[in-house]
Chains A and B, each alone.
Chain A
Amino acid sequence: MSYFQGNDVILHKENLAKNIYRLVIAAPDIAAFAKAGQFVHVTVPGYFLRRPISLCEADSSRGTITLVYEIRGEGTKALARLNEGETLDVMGPLGHGFTLDPGKKVIVVGGGIGVPPLLQAVKFYGANAKAILGFRDASAVILEEDFRRYGAETIVCTDNGTRGQKGFVTDALAGMVTKEKPDYLFACGPKVMLEKVAKIAADQKIECEVSLEERMGCGVGACLVCACRLKRTEEEKEYYGHVCKDGPVFPAKEVVF
């Protein structure tokens, strides 16, 4: 593990959809070490605890990282008041990301604000990646063009069919894997979605990794608050691992949903 902490300048701020923002931040050290699926821990003016946000992109040649976050409470609302040119206290890259295995084929499945953490993995796999991205409706769709730009065949699903296919990402995934089985499935989104993706992966015998979320403290494995239920094998008893250090990306078969 190698991580950094500093006050980093916001180079670009953009409203992607209602309550969803993209920040591009100058953070060369973090960008140089970051791997797909890792996160950063940021402070918000006026709030005590840091907020963990998964990396959407890390560009080591430009020395920038990209974060996409949704306003969910007072803290993220305060974060959204920060503008270009201002600084953000960023700590990272933290945690454990997705498996990056050159030449292998992957399908990434994202739901809502679970979509951004998958983009950097698609950047790595390029045309060997396919993406299934789910949103509430057309107005909530984000990053579709970015996934396409990095070479992934991309399917958008919306709950009400106002954009792309109508229905759940897991239905689209079930159809896709019966046609062509990938080497890996990566998923990020609501827990019910992750559980269904993990089930499809288990049934089809595909390696699956899921990115989890939990209320977090230190971000580096010291305080042990972000506990999640895991089991190493079917036979072993369950235990509490920690999203910040053991994850946020876990082998789906080790997660107790």
Chain B
Amino acid sequence: MADLSVTVAGVTFKNPIIPASGTFGFGREYEDLYPLSLLGGISTKGTTLDPKDGNPPPRIAETPAGMLNSVGLQNPGIDAFIRDALPYLQEQDTVIIANVAGSTVEDCVEIARRLENTKVHMLELNISCPNVKEGGVAFGTSCESAGAITAAVRKATTKPLMVKLSPNVTSITDIAKSVEAAGADAVSLINTLLGMRIDIESKRPILKNNVGGLSGPAVFPVAVRMVWQVANAVSIPVVGMGGVASGKDAIEMMMAGAQAVQVGAAIFHDPFAPVRIIREMNEWLDAHAYSSVSQIIGRVEPW
């Protein structure tokens, strides 16, 4: 049995597998299936300063090997998160990554302040949500705004700060370098790719928001490519995500340079996906005589 533990920005995870923000609620929804302590960590549902209602339904559409969503950051607000969700989460013996979202820099700064004296282990600043009109991806598509919001939140927190990047940009490495220079301790990528489906009978988009974020196995090669490029461009750790559905996918993502791996849409297909992936990684590492998962990080040998 290989050592699966990894360290990201000073935080030790017992294994590298983390359910991705927005796909695992605040964890409790899955407690009937397995103890959350099996997971490396949990990235919680993106939380804004005030409660947010989200977009009108339909909010989901199936695609070949994946799905589109347009939830629009529906969440109960940061105070409800701290009051109602956190006490349960901090009893689960897993790393808690609080996903922070806001429509203004000031909102994100205030959320970081309110989390400062909680038992959250790490912040994940979401500058990449494609489904809200203000904030979200608007911060994540220019180097200046991505750097500015990162610097502002950096000042407001002593906790490790990870910034979640959008793939819907010309150069994700430039954005990654900007947030690194602004004080980010890690980056996570990729958020969803903007997509669209149309019901050709009604001539209407399936999503009421018209467009939404694509995730699932369909995006996996794009995610591996971007993780590899970013890992080569920055010196802070990269947490990889996008279409990971098996232990071999997670190994591939880590060989591309990811220190840890988030699992998202795969959970909707198989709610056991995160624990299955941990088991499959372990089996692969044993079969290939690795004593530690850290031995494969960034070990791709490019041509």
Cα–Cα distance between A245 and B28 once the two chains are bound (Å)? 12
Q: Is the CB of A215 within 8 A of B66?
A: no
Shortest CB distance B255–A (Å): 25
Cα(A43)–Cα(B62), bound, Å: 13
Q: How many residues of B contact A (CB 8 A)?
A: 36
Given known A215-B60, A222-B25, contact A227–B269 (CB-CB < 8 A): no
The CA-CA distance from A125 to B124 in the complex, in Å, is 51
Q: Are A214 and B58 in contact (CB under 8 A)?
A: yes
Query: Is B271's CB under 8 angstroms from A91's CB?
Result: yes
Contact: A215 with B61, CB < 8 Å?
Answer: yes
Point out which of A4, A216, A227 has the most chain B C-beta atoms below 10 A from its C-beta: A227
Q: Which of B3-11, B49-57, B101-109 contacts A (4 or more CB under 8 A)?
A: B49-57
Interface centre among A75, A218, A225 (most CB of B within 10 A): A225
Shortest C-beta distance, B265 to chain A (Å), equals 8
User: Could you tell me the distance between the alpha carbons of A188 and B269 in the complex, rounded to whole angstroms?
Assistant: 27
Q: How far is the CA of A219 from the CA of B63 in the complex (A)?
A: 18
CB-nearest residue of chain B to A227 = B57
A228 at the B interface (CB under 8 A): yes
List residues of chain A with CB under 8 Å of any chain B CB.
1-5, 43, 47-50, 75, 89, 91, 214-228, 239-240, 245
Decide if B268 touches A218 in the complex (CB within 8 Å): yes
Most-contacted residue by chain B among A4, A47, A49 (CB, 10 A): A49
* Residues of chain A with a CB closer than 8 A to B62's CB: 47-49, 75
B269 to A: closest C-beta gap in Å: 6
| B72 smallest CB distance to A (angstroms) | 9
Question: How many angstroms from the CA of A4 to the CA of B216 in the assembled complex?
Answer: 23
B272 proximity list for chain A (CB < 8 A): 5
Q: With A48-B63, A214-B58, A222-B24 as given contacts, are A240 and B74 in contact (CB-CB < 8 Å)?
A: yes
In the complex, are the beta carbons of A227 and B32 less than 8 A apart?
no
A228 close to B57 (CB less than 8 A)? yes
Counted as pairs of residues, one from A and one from B, with CB atoms less than 8 Å apart, the total is: 100
Q: Which of B53-101 contact A (CB under 8 A)?
A: 53-63, 65-67, 69, 71, 74
20 additional contacts (CB under 8 A) given A216-B60, A223-B22, A245-B29? A2-B32, A48-B62, A48-B268, A49-B67, A49-B269, A214-B58, A217-B69, A217-B268, A219-B268, A220-B30, A220-B271, A221-B29, A223-B71, A224-B25, A224-B45, A224-B59, A225-B60, A227-B74, A240-B54, A240-B74
Given that A48-B216, A48-B269 are known contacts, is A220 also in contact with B59, CB under 8 Å in the complex? no
Q: Mark B194-237, 1 if CB is under 8 A from A, else 0.
A: 00000000000010000000001100000000000000000000
27 CB-based A-B contacts, threshold 8 Å = A1-B32, A3-B33, A5-B271, A5-B272, A47-B62, A48-B63, A48-B65, A48-B66, A48-B67, A49-B60, A50-B268, A214-B57, A215-B58, A215-B61, A217-B67, A217-B69, A221-B25, A222-B45, A224-B59, A225-B71, A226-B59, A226-B60, A227-B54, A227-B55, A228-B57, A239-B53, A245-B29
Chain B residues within CB distance 8 Å of chain A? 22-25, 29-30, 32-33, 45, 53-63, 65-67, 69, 71, 74, 206, 216-217, 265, 267-272
B53: A residues at CB distance < 8 A: 239-240
What are the residues of chain A within 8 A of B267 when measuring CB–CB?
Answer: 218, 222
Contact A215 B57, beta carbon cutoff 8 Å: yes
Query: Which one, B59, B63, B66, contacts A225 given CB within 8 A?
Result: B59
Do residues B24 and A224 form an inter-chain contact, with CB atoms below 8 A?
no
Kindly report which residue of chain A lies nearest to residue B68, judged by CB atoms.
A225
Q: Do A218 and B23 touch (CB < 8 A)?
A: yes
Chain A residue nearest to B25 in the complex (CB): A222
**Cα distance A226–B25 when bound, in Å?**
14
Residues of B within 8 Å of A5, CB to CB, are: 33, 271-272
Task: Give min CB distance, B293 to chain A, whole Å.
Answer: 26
Q: A residues within 8 A CB of B56?
A: 227
Given contacts A5-B272, A48-B67, contact A215 B59 (CB under 8 A): yes
Contact A222-B60, Cβ < 8 Å, known A49-B269, A217-B67: no
Residue in chain A with minimal CB distance to B69 = A225
A214 to B66, CA, bound (A): 18
